[in-house]
Amino acid sequence: MMNRLESCLRSLPNAFPGPGGAVAVLKDGEVLLRHAWGYANAERRIPFTPRTLFRMCSITKQFTCGVVLSAFPDPAVLDDGVAATLPNLTQPPPKTLDLCHNQSGLRDYWAVAMLHGSPVEAPFGDAESARVFAGTRSLHFAPGTRFSYVNQNFRILSDVAQARTGRGFGELLRKTLFEPAGMESAFLAADTRAMPDGTQGYEGSVATGFRAAENNIFWTGDAGLGASLDDMIAWERFVDASRDDAQSIYSRLAAPVHFADGNTALYGFGLSRHPVCGRAATGHGGALRGWRSQRFYLPGERLSVVVMFNHMADAAAAARKLAAAALDEPAPPAAKDLPDPAWLGDYLVPETGLLARISRAAEDQVALAYSYPPELLPLHEDGTAGEDLSRLRPGPGGLWLDRPSENFSGVLLPLDHGETRDIAGRYHCVELDAALTITDSGGALYGAFSGFLGQGRMEQLHPVGGDIWTLPCPRALDHSPPGDWTLALQPDGALVVGCWLARGLRYERVSKRSLF
């Protein structure tokens, strides 16, 4: 096993090329691998070491929930504080546990920021986030019924915990988690503009070259954790040492979670519960422009893996490779050349109002463009496709999409690729008090959003047919853009706009062919 693990380690810098990285593998609480390579700051020639400070990004979310469970044995005491952050909400507000489990029904504030016209690298801090929260008038599903990844769930949790305790969130993290776990250099790195030791995140690729990533976001409970590889090794040891204590903080974080209808949830308390190499696992990834990370723990095998890249390579894929090597998993079977399914094409997902585009990706895969990024689903000989996250299957009434992690299953409506109508004009969203302008520029439609954060850049719309268009959002405040916005024309001339992170927003047409 060690020979295969060491061989896998040697392959990582070339398989996931970039300025630098660090990885660790632990078994039974003991370190099997602890290795770093490359540069934390290539311009200043600062080496990447196991002590380099790193932006752990969304791995923060489990720590935020750890603070909540440590400081408030009954998290329901924070429910009033959660409701107070949403003063204009016209529906029953989500509860604290809905936020912990990404079942709140809130629209993600990084996606909503783009609807308010935010430039990509614009500053976004406490004032901007508070205004987005306060402007929330509706939810895109009833709390507890569905899953949707929402960063501000965890920012709200950290804000409410601060207010309730009268202590800063950085202090809460340090006293409740960092010190007990022995995470000596971990801290709340809310300001993304710089790290104290000079570590830099990078965008780009080997083909285009790497450049320093620009970040102006202030993160807290959603993605503010700064930690070194050694800090994360201490966390994994802490997790493993407490595995048999049902009252330990990680045991509580990893406890089973359900939806309101009793179905098992695959996400809770800031932790994913998706299997790794066919084994039960808990963990989370992280991504911010210039940074990628992944950690998970397999309790049955007592195996931990941590991967940190200061560039945009796939840290989750690297972590899975290390896990497979540590478990001595056999190589996957060779791909079979399966015929094209009869159901390739474009569909509308009725419940969400979003476009689902299904195309052939490889001899044994189809690509599903619905969430971001597009998912590659393995084809099966029974005419279905997919695995744990998404499944496509023929069924009563047509093609069905199952997304167990979201507690969703529904039939897809095929789209008619006929002529589309003229939608040029200016639109207003009452929910956001924001605008969408669509222009006809020499026979091509372009669109952009605007609001209290500014004017977004014009992007070319793509007609799908059936009164459906897509408006691309290739870059956003956060690392991951929301993906294409689906624009669905209604019988009364309004547009319903949405992406997988923020759905069901109605834009009323206020003028035709108006310029921004």
Q: Which residues are catalytic?
A: 58, 61
In this structure, how many other beta carbons lie within 10 angstroms of the beta carbon of residue 219?
28
AA letter at 415: L
Q: From CA 423, how far away is CA 456, in angstroms rounded?
A: 19
H or E stretch covering 161: helix 152-165
Which tokens is 82 given?
Answer: 């959660």
Residue with tokens 């669905």: 488
Q: Can you tell me whether residue 178 is helix, strand or coil?
A: helix
Q: Which neighbouring-strand residues pair with 27? A: 30, 303
Q: Can you tell me whether residue 35 is helix, strand or coil?
A: strand
Count Cα neighbours of 138 within 13 Å in the Cβ-side half-sphere: 11
The alpha carbon of 156 is separated from its chain's Cα centroid by a whole number of angstroms, namely 17
Q: Can you tell me whether residue 57 is helix, strand or coil?
A: strand
Q: From CA 505, how far away is CA 511, in angstroms rounded?
A: 18
Q: Give all strands (DSSP E) within 130-252, no chain letters.
A: 187-188, 202-205, 209-212, 225-227
Instruction: Of 494, 436, 441, give the one whose Cα is nearest residue 467.
Output: 494
DSSP notation for 112-159:
HHHHTT--TT--B-HHHHHHHHHT----SS-TTS-----THHHHHHHH
H or E stretch covering 164: helix 152-165
The alpha carbon of 20 is separated from its chain's Cα centroid by a whole number of angstroms, namely 23
